[in-house]
Amino acid sequence: MSNLIKLLIRYSFFILFLLFELICFFLIVQNNHYQRSSFLNLFYETSGSIQNRYAAITEYLNLKNINKELAEENARLKISALESKMKLFGENYLINDTLFKQKYVYITCKIINNSVNKSSNYITLDKGALNGIEPEMGVIGPNGIIGIVKHVSPNFSTVVSVLHTNFRASAKVKNTGFFGSCYWDGNHYQTGIVEDIPSHIKIKRGDTIITTGYSTVFPENINIGTVLSFELPPEKNFYTVKIQFTQDYKNINYVYVVKNLLKEEIKELEKLTEEQ
């Protein structure tokens, strides 16, 4: 302590000088706009560059954590992207079409069994009657129609795939409205046939074939396939169109079972009309 006091006394002149300079500096920075701004500028630049260095170091040290966080975020984004799809066609989602007063409910299902290499292919889904699935419901995938529900157990259901020789769906050429019947000819799993397209309309390769919505099974405007080739058999007024399915039936995981809420009403009405 006494040494410290000795030191202070010894350098008192210098300390007083520093004190005065400090007061002056304080006065300068306090009262002169220009010096203040340049001082603050220097101060911020210095502190900013120090913080930058510090951040660079800590960033490097935290790379592991950052990677982990990024991976987690990626996973979250992937999930949310899938979820957004599910929400659109989710279990409790209603398409309320005011013009036609149609209502569809989509039930998300996972495919637990599938085949493409037989002449009668069936798909098994992981949901059944307990989830509201009934026979004769349509099944659609992300890129097109999948099939029609055949049998239902409490927890599972089987679906007649598009790739079944008995499968029929009403189809039309997009933007024309002329409809025909779509089926699978049992050859290659990626191609199908659309018949009964009138010969007077113009179709070309690449045209899209979509569902009509005439049946109560599928909603309207679901993709089926694109036109690969077409021919006009002799003495017939209808094209036979070869199509490529837009849905790859070998590569599907999640599908949506379409529940048509007005199905009973339509059926009853049609029945009434037919009886008369």
Partner 1 sequence: MNSNLFRYIFSFIFLILLQSFVLNNVQLSGYLNPYLYILFILSLPFDISKYALLLLSFLLGLCVDIFLGTTGVHASASVFMAFFRPFILRVIAPREGYDTTTRPRLQDMGVKWFIIYAFTLTLLHHLFLFYTEVFRFSHFFTTLGRSISSTLFTFILILISQLFIFKKADSKS
Q: Where do contacts with partner 1 occur on this chain (CB under 8 A)? A: 12-14, 16-17, 20-21, 23-32, 34-35, 38-39, 42
Provide, rounded to whole angstroms, the least separation between the CB of residue 28 and partner 1.
4
Strand partners, 245: 225
Amino acid symbol at 268 = E
Provide, rounded to whole angstroms, the least separation between the CB of residue 34 and partner 1.
7
Provide, rounded to whole angstroms, the least separation between the CB of residue 30 and partner 1.
7
Extract the tokens encoding 198.
Answer: 């009138």
Q: Which is nearer to partner 1, 26 or 44 (CB)?
A: 26
CB-CB neighbours of 156 under 10 Å: 19
Secondary structure (H, E, C), 175-216: CCCCEEEEECCCCCCCEEEEEEEECCCCCCCCCEEEECCCCC
Beta carbons of 233 and 196 less than 8 angstroms apart: no
Q: How many residues comprise the chain?
A: 276
Q: Which is nearer to partner 1, 16 or 79 (CB)?
A: 16
Compute the distance between CA of residue 194 and CA of residue 47 in angstroms, rounded to an integer: 73
Provide, rounded to whole angstroms, the least separation between the CB of residue 52 and partner 1.
21
Provide, rounded to whole angstroms, the least separation between the CB of residue 75 and partner 1.
51
Q: Which is nearer to partner 1, 29 or 111 (CB)?
A: 29
Q: Which is nearer to partner 1, 9 or 232 (CB)?
A: 9
Q: Would you call 174 exposed, middle or buried from its count of C-beta atoms within 10 A (0-12, 13-18, 19+)?
A: middle
Place of tokens 């529940």: 259
Provide, rounded to whole angstroms, the least separation between the CB of residue 44 and partner 1.
14
Beta carbons of 118 and 249 less than 8 angstroms apart: no
Q: Which is nearer to partner 1, 37 or 74 (CB)?
A: 37
Q: Which is nearer to partner 1, 30 or 276 (CB)?
A: 30
